[in-house]
A and B are shown apart, each in its own frame.
Chain A
């Protein structure tokens, strides 16, 4: 089933709040781990074979549930980096110091393991390559935006998708090569780039947003707060900004 025919998932509609129907969430599945790579020392890219999977829309996430021998479980959410056309579900997990689930996924998980997952989840932070979008991601916040970027390419509509990707250093930015090759603006706060000196993301890093693209902002709570207010200063209508906030904060 093509993703665009999912009920309730007509992404890109301005009046998303009014749209009828429901975004489908698949039930629990036992996925098989096909690939684990460590593109950087602190991240793991995990590729999963999810049986009877419900097609996702770029931007959605899965819940991963781990079970200990005594029955204790821990679940966390992870955005999907793969486009709907990919036969596997790709996650990119950053290992947090002392992180219960990310530590396991980054250090212990190996090909051939099975993993309980549930998804896809979320019908708001999604884009179906049907209208202009500007995406601003910080650190692992680029993950759902990578799914959008790849989907735009699959659909032959790369011109609809503009991306700004921020991190401390090049080596901290997931999918840095792929993003740069696709023309994303790379914003590094602690490293100079030929086209941009080191520095936090600012108004100059965003395109003019007054033409009304849907704006997707994703990252830590602090990054999402900063980038979404910048987007409004760059002319975005507040109603057109969709935000996904990852992880803990004080």
Chain B
């Protein structure tokens, strides 16, 4: 840590909100859009979600099948590696726990690769999407998720930087080893824990 920057005092601030991980600021009601590809037009009736790889029972759900499952909600904060956080937000969808219970991971499964309709990929330790930590989400604040934020459906892994929450998600492949996804190959951290500031390779 070096000394202060000459002439910089920062925005007037009160106590730092304890919900903000280090290096993050509160973007308030804003929600920046950061996507490296063309925003797809995804027809929900043609969308499917598959869990395959090292599972006993590879399974594909359609939009209607997914919506017939017990719904689950996330209420809390999200964090982007570009340093904004959005506090007290809510998402609706289904918990990955139920989906994984159907697909039944094999004992050697320890990592996951998520894939989008755009071929975007991102890797996660399996443990990071189990036990109530991850969702397939289609609503935000009670409204349908908009296209630029991954609508109609995205992955939601709110305890990791948001590039892990793949927009337009379509597949989770369970593996016995870790493999970098799109941003991970392009310089970003393999895991991305905001509280540990795991932003770039080597952090």
Contact = CB atoms under 8 A, between A and B. Distances in A.
Interface string B50-86: 0000000000000000000000000000000011100
B127 interface: no
Given A21-B185, A68-B4, A123-B185, A243 B36 contact: yes
Given A25-B200, A100-B10, A115-B5, A124 B186 contact: yes
B143 interface: no
A228 B39 contact: yes
What does DSSP make chain B's interface, helix, strand, loop or mixed? loop
Interface residues of B, number: 44
Contacts of B182: 17, 124
A123 B187 contact: yes
Interface string A19-52: 1111111010010000000000000000000000
Interface residues of A, number: 53
B35 interface: yes
B125 to A, nearest CB: 19
Interface stretch (A74-82, A128-136, A153-161, A179-187): A74-82
A249 B200 contact: no
Most interface-central of A20, A115, A124, A228 (chain B CB within 10 A): A124
Given A67-B8, A247-B32, A8 B38 contact: no
Interface string A208-250: 0000000000000100010011011000001101111101111
Interface in B1-56: 1-11, 13, 16, 23, 25, 27, 29-40
Contacts of B201: 22, 24-25
Contacts, number: 129
Interface of A: 8, 17, 19-25, 27, 30, 66-69, 71-77, 100, 104, 108-109, 113-116, 118, 121-125, 221, 225, 228-229, 231-232, 238-239, 241-245, 247-250
30 contacts: A8-B185, A17-B121, A17-B182, A22-B180, A23-B185, A25-B201, A25-B202, A30-B2, A66-B8, A72-B16, A76-B82, A77-B82, A100-B11, A114-B6, A116-B5, A118-B200, A225-B33, A228-B38, A228-B39, A238-B38, A238-B118, A239-B119, A241-B37, A241-B38, A243-B36, A243-B38, A245-B34, A247-B32, A248-B30, A250-B31
Interface of B: 1-11, 13, 16, 23, 25, 27, 29-40, 82-84, 118-119, 121, 148, 180, 182-183, 185-187, 200-202
